[in-house]
A = this chain, B = another copy of it.
């Protein structure tokens, strides 16, 4: 999953930020409009729209069209959705279980040259991605302990 500037692809980090902001508003049962989301996470409007649509299709957040519409997340999902769900929805599974050197499939029976070095790191990453909920992130942002833009 490693690329030239950070851990996640841009799409994925925009998705994580967008979902976190929707989650933050979800803490108080509010829906938010696309425009507000894009501004709040400092991400291009149209591109943010595309990403939000993916999150909707992946049943992570929901949306309402028309006047008074917007994006929102249910209490249930806010608690249930973990980071892995978002990463999968945007980048797919390969991103967190693929072989470090590009083998078709990571396996201990034909380990690549980096297998034993990378495996523990990937395990730690997986553990974090499945144990961190969107609510965790949303709360931290809501309490001003962490931020969605610089």
Contact = CB atoms under 8 A, between A and B. Distances in A.
Main SS of chain A's interface residues? mixed
A95 B1 contact: no
A92 to B, nearest CB: 6
Given A2-B96, A3-B3, 18 more contacts: A2-B2, A2-B3, A2-B9, A2-B91, A3-B9, A4-B91, A4-B95, A5-B94, A5-B95, A6-B94, A6-B95, A6-B102, A13-B101, A17-B101, A114-B146, A117-B132, A121-B125, A121-B128
Interface residues of A, number: 53
A49 interface: no
Contacts of A10: 102
A4 B9 contact: yes
